[in-house]
Amino acid sequence: MTLPGPLNPPSRLLMGPGPINADPRVLRAMSTPLVGQYDPFMTRSMNEVMELYRRVFVTGNRQTLLIDSTARGGIEAALVSVLEPGDKVLVPVMGRFGHLLVEIAQRCGAEVHTVEAPWGQVAPYELIADAMAKVQPKVLAVVHGDTSTTVVQPFDGLGELCDRYGTLLYADVTASIGGNEFLTDAWGVDIATGGLQKCLGGPSGSAPATFSARAEGIINARKSIEAGIRDEGDAVAAHPIRSNYFDMSMVFDYWSERRLNHHTEATTMLYAARESARIVLEEGLGAFQARHALHGRAMMEGVRGLGLEVFGDVEHKMTNVVGVVIPEGVHGEAVRTRMLEDFGIEIGTSFGPLAGKVWRIGTMGYNARQDAVLTTLAALEAVLRREGFGLPAGGGVDEAYRVYAEAA
């Protein structure tokens, strides 16, 4: 067998719903030397990561750390650690990733109830409140920003609802954290899990997460330390968490002063997560979010300037991704292919009922910048013309320039 040649990926501008181009500073951090998992530098870096992400999540939670997995693993770790068979869960479903929460909760053996909203809309508070009164679930699991539909679910009043019924509030913030306002403590969120590959400007493979003291208590009540690392007096639960790798009670001990040898921390990903958070906070969380809002607005108005329709409830649109209705007579995949092959720019398609009907264009993390927005709009105009779609010459770039001029 002939060996493959050296790795040499093509140069791409990733303007889809994620992943996006990692910030070069994150890539540099990932190239730094490895150390042992209990080296003082390593444990100090772990502590720094905890403190950095407390500021990103806007929380005082002690258990704020990384789950060594993609964002989906972070979701699963959170849900499998709090849910036991028969527990009731309520999930507002407004797109693909609400369905994912249902899927994972069902696999945990939970009794899952849903509140359904049309794709592109958010779930009204009144519907959630009515369902909460009827179900009185152990967990209310909510996708904060669903990139499949580009909308962000309001959390107003959800914390108070959960307090009323003794319910844990879980938030999937994979696509929203950093680029959209998210106030863990002020909103009464008990658990939130995210990912690096969207607004945080890193690679996929690490899931920042935060757990309230209430969630920590529920998880630790199921603690069962595995035999090979168990000390005398360590807990052995009758109904332990049904995953070893995603057992957050042991992961908490790994990130604590005890440094329980649960697994080997993904050192390079820890470096990436540390640098991603440091970059956000160096810019300032408010300024970072404002940058996402500006470039997201410029992209949205640029899309309209091309004579294209924006998909979904714009009032509740995420700052970092815009849905574009594919015009009648235009082959959506042909446009995406030509954008990639001719300009090296990737934009996204969608799923389920929106497959073939909507493009998704992201402006997030390192790619939330003016040149990326203008280049993408100019390329989209050129490709649409090649596809025979009539549109205003320069209309997209002109509208984006207008947004930037008004913000100056």
Tens digit of pLDDT for each residue in 126-138? 999 999 999 999 9
Q: Return the SS3 of 168.
A: strand
pLDDT at 233: 82
> Helix H segments across 137-266?
158-165, 213-220, 248-254
- Is the pLDDT at 297 greater than 80? The verdict is yes
- Is the pLDDT at 8 greater than 80? The verdict is yes
CA–centroid distance for 390 within its chain: 36
Average pLDDT over residues 141-153: 97
- Select 285-407's CATH number: 3.40.1350.10, 3.90.1150.140, 3.90.1150.10, 3.40.190.290: 3.90.1150.10
Average pLDDT over residues 58-71: 98
Q: Which of 113, 133, 180, 124 is nearest to 152 (CA)?
A: 180
- Select 24-280's CATH number: 3.40.50.620, 3.20.20.150, 3.40.640.10, 3.40.50.300: 3.40.640.10
Tokens standing for residue 367: 């790619």
Average pLDDT over residues 39-51: 97
Q: Which burial class, exposed, middle or buried, applies to 109 when counting CB atoms under 10 A from its CB (0-12, 13-18, 19+)?
A: middle
> Helix H segments across 203-284?
213-220, 248-254, 267-283
pLDDT at 235: 75
Give Cα separations from 249 to 44, 80, 83, 277, 349 (angstroms): 21, 11, 13, 24, 38
Sorting pLDDT into bands at 50, 70 and 90, what band is 282? very high
Distance CA 144, CA 14 (A): 22
Q: What is the 3-state secondary structure (H, E, C) of 22-71?
A: CCHHHHHHHCCCCCCCCCHHHHHHHHHHHHHHHHHHCCCCCEEEEECCCH
Domain ranges of the chain: 24-280, 285-407
The number of beta carbons lying within 10 Å of the beta carbon of residue 6 is: 5
Q: Which burial class, exposed, middle or buried, applies to 166 when counting CB atoms under 10 A from its CB (0-12, 13-18, 19+)?
A: exposed
- Is the pLDDT at 212 greater than 90? The verdict is yes
Sorting pLDDT into bands at 50, 70 and 90, what band is 238? confident
Per-residue pLDDT tens for 357-394? Answer: 999 999 999 999 999 999 999 999 999 999 999 888 99
Per-residue pLDDT tens for 308-326? Answer: 999 999 999 999 999 999 9
